[in-house]
Chain A
Amino acid sequence: MSIRNCCSLFKHITTFKGSLSNKFHTSVRLNQLHNTSDKQSLKHKIRSTVYYVTAAGVLTVGLSYAAVPLYRMFCQAYSYGGTTSTGHDVSKVETMASVKNRPIRIKFNADIAASMRWNFKPQQHEITIIPGETALAFYTAKNPTDKPVTGISTYNVIPFEAGQYFNKIQCFCFEEQQLNPHEQVDMPVFFYIDPEFVEDPKMEFIEEIILSYTFFEAREGLKLPVPAFAR
């Protein structure tokens, strides 16, 4: 076959990239080319194609790693998917108006982990509050042992969807608290329900919210389900 036929045939073949048999043909054709400058430019084209494909692969892998923090930032900025924004305004507490015709019962629950030796209970079973009004609630923890015990707590709000309207101004969770032997302390929780709660159609029939705190013993390497921005 003449060289020109070879080259034109080769051009047709290279348009079908990624086919094994074509790759075989490519290498076969490559060997059959006698014109070295054509061979060089061909090699150059193949090399640049390989570079582009590799770069695309690296970009995809990099994007998939970068997507995790980027997505988290996006979610927090726009409160998408149930996450609440970390930059929660204190000024909101000043300006929020209480909604008097929508009383909500908040029930309190206290739990300890199986190995935790504190006695932990709420001081009140329930409180009736209205959205937009700050409220105070107490838990009591007692260390009946002879050694100081350090605990760390986390909380849960049921129903889950109401959790986004439940704002804690100050509490005792996510930080280690140490109790000396035979010591009893009061642990307050200062919170409010966002007035926007009344405007959410999904919250229309919710009259009761359960706030549940669980204490774990703080040990080296204990990993609580604490959100990253709480650390």
Chain B
Amino acid sequence: MSSNSSMAMQLIFPHSHSQKSFTPTPPEKGSFPLDHEGLCKKLMVKYMQCLRKNDNNNSECRKESQDYLGCRMDNNLMAKEEWNKLGF
């Protein structure tokens, strides 16, 4: 009985045995502290404007994202890291 139903399941949902379930992984550097005072909000808005201008293409807006992260680092909202370690 169970073998019949499992065979039927394999017809309806093929590859169900090989499907890997997604495991969320923690971020490498942990969590960003919240920017309660909005210290870097202006730079975030600049980044958003750049994205809208460039059709949401991240490659064109690297400078703005670097500025935002720099603001975070300056205001103690992010651990200081060298730029090449962050992929810039």
Measured CB to CB, the residues of A under 8 A from B are 81-84, 86, 88, 90-91, 93-94, 96, 123-130, 132-136, 138, 154-157, 160-161, 163, 167-175, 177-180, 183, 185-188, 190, 192, 225-227, 229-230
Contact = CB atoms under 8 A, between A and B. Distances in A.
Please name the 6 residue pairs, one residue from A and one from B, whose CB atoms are nearest each other, closest first: A82-B20, A134-B87, A136-B65, A168-B27, A230-B26, A175-B31
A160 B21 contact: yes
A91 B84 CA distance: 9
Contacts of B23: 82-84, 163, 227
B65 A157 contact: no
A197 B47 CA distance: 26
Interface in B21-65: 21-32, 34-36, 38, 40-41, 44, 47-48, 51, 55-59, 62, 65
B84 A94 contact: yes
Most buried by A among B29, B34, B78: B34
A84 to B, nearest CB: 5
B51 A169 contact: no
A126 B56 CA distance: 7
B85 A94 contact: yes
A134 B88 contact: yes
B56 A123 contact: no
Where chain A touches its partner, the secondary structure class is mixed
B67 to A, nearest CB: 10
Nearest to A130: B59
Main secondary structure of the interface of B (DSSP, over half): loop
A43 B22 CA distance: 56
A88 to B, nearest CB: 6
A227 B86 contact: no
Of B19, B55, B56, most buried by chain A (CB within 10 Å of CB) is B56
B56 A173 contact: no
A135 to B, nearest CB: 4
A186 B65 contact: no
Contacts of B38: 185-186
B44 A93 contact: no
14 contacts: A90-B29, A123-B48, A124-B48, A127-B57, A129-B58, A135-B65, A156-B22, A156-B24, A168-B25, A168-B26, A169-B28, A183-B36, A185-B35, A187-B34
Contacts of A90: 28-29, 85
